[in-house]
Structure 1
């Protein structure tokens, strides 16, 4: 099995992830790094990973680069802030040792997020993500920053969690929410999607209702409320940024964008 990881300045997270992979004993760990200025690259090499240093073309493109660099029959795709639980490691090993494991082209895994000192058991859980795939049968798709892994063939599910250490604190959470809203707006503009006032009003409300009522975010206490409001805020900002981009294009008579270079993080819980 290969493990594919993308990084930039992940010295705080990467050791925890690489240590969690030890029970799996993967034949290959591929780290695609986009210009880390901390000790990320050294940490990866110290753990025996193959490091590819390159530019940052976007979430989807970078994760596909990591997939393409893997050579083993199966690939586990993770972000630097996503160590795996011992239960998941054991279940992956058992799966790959079975004679009939090749009947599926990929497997979804549930992601459990650590937020403000505790695990979120409702608002963002379970989050089923396709992460274990056959080499050559999968690719990352979607529109930045909302990437998703897709596979050609039937899929199954594995028990055990990916432990997601998503945000360091409230400041980190809201800064990233703003960044992702801006990236989302630029992606909409690049695809020719026009600003619609009703999207700026009803999309945030839909997010809040989904997280607080349908996902029972209220059961996570104030942390659930914070997440629901931040998701609502991010949705509002995405269309506000799109409005700004459209006005800039009209005023300049040409292309207009914020020019923000995103931090290569995971497919976050940003709606």
Structure 2
């Protein structure tokens, strides 16, 4: 390894497209762009047309190719974006994420000797400025680098990469997912509503009792089984928020069942002010 690689640098931009799907992300997007600018062959930002802030201008000023596409769900948005990219190797990043400096060198090694169709790396989730080591958000690994002809995106709201063989990528992603309660609570409600709608469409049945039990288990798993208490107050808050989101999803399903029985319409999920679900 030469001195440049030891510093986490690459000699020239790689034949890798970095893909970011965004809506109302003018505050966080610059950090994401800066974290990949030194090694990405191109950066493509797929913009939700409902975006109301300066995300488009910020992305363009940061050197990104800005494309607009109607939002259906996360996997559909990203799958469309993957097909618009210049290169076959695509690295997916969220606007509230930052790629570690070593990720570029790791991608260069993959391109020099690709052994898998996709690669996963560590993700360090931050809550209230603290890196979480335990609980549901500790030890997180996500698939982000894929060859678009050998892997595909699926999963709807909670997107995932499907590939025959998935390897490991050095470095990590830093995820600024929970910065404050006012920022996070609308997001929690948004995805609880989407989750309830998906459960209803799948024919699942819910009730308040089910919500209480599932929420209680979610808390116990995160805080006790997965040692979330070792993350201090941040670990406690994350476990409580996870439990509340789980309860809310099943309570909303119960409400939607009643509306369906009364020929009512399912409500549209409230939209959070930017950001993507963790």
Tell me if TM exceeds 0.5.
yes
Decide whether the 8 Å contact of 1:148 with 1:267 is kept in 2.
no
Q: Which residue of structure 1 lines up, in the alignment, with residue 224 of structure 2?
A: 213
Pairing 1:137–2:150 present: yes
Moved more, 133-142 or 236-245: 133-142
Moved more, 43-52 or 198-207: 198-207
Map 1:1-271 → 2, pairs under 5 A: 1-24=16-39, 26-35=40-49, 36-96=51-111, 98=112, 100-101=113-114, 103-123=115-135, 124-144=137-157, 146-151=158-163, 153-195=164-206, 199-252=210-263, 256-260=265-269, 262-263=271-272, 265-268=275-278
Structure 1 distance, partners of 2:131, 2:169, is 20
Shift of 1:245: 0.4
Structure 1 distance, partners of 2:151, 2:277, is 16
Structure 1 distance, partners of 2:248, 2:103, is 36
TM-score (normalizing by structure 2): 0.87
Shift of 1:217: 0.7
Shift of 1:197: 5.5
Decide whether the 8 Å contact of 1:91 with 1:159 is kept in 2.
yes
Residue 217 and residue 117 in structure 1: after superposition, are their counterparts in 2 closer, same or farther (change >3 A)? same
Decide whether the 8 Å contact of 1:23 with 1:90 is kept in 2.
no
Moved over 4 A (4+): none
Residue 210 and residue 177 in structure 1: after superposition, are their counterparts in 2 closer, same or farther (change >3 A)? same
Aligned length: 260
Shift of 1:94: 2.9
Residue 267 and residue 177 in structure 1: after superposition, are their counterparts in 2 closer, same or farther (change >3 A)? closer
Structure 1 distance, partners of 2:118, 2:225, is 27
TM-score (normalizing by structure 1): 0.89
Structure 1 distance, partners of 2:236, 2:82, is 36
Residue 136 and residue 261 in structure 1: after superposition, are their counterparts in 2 closer, same or farther (change >3 A)? farther
Moved more, 169-178 or 190-199: 190-199
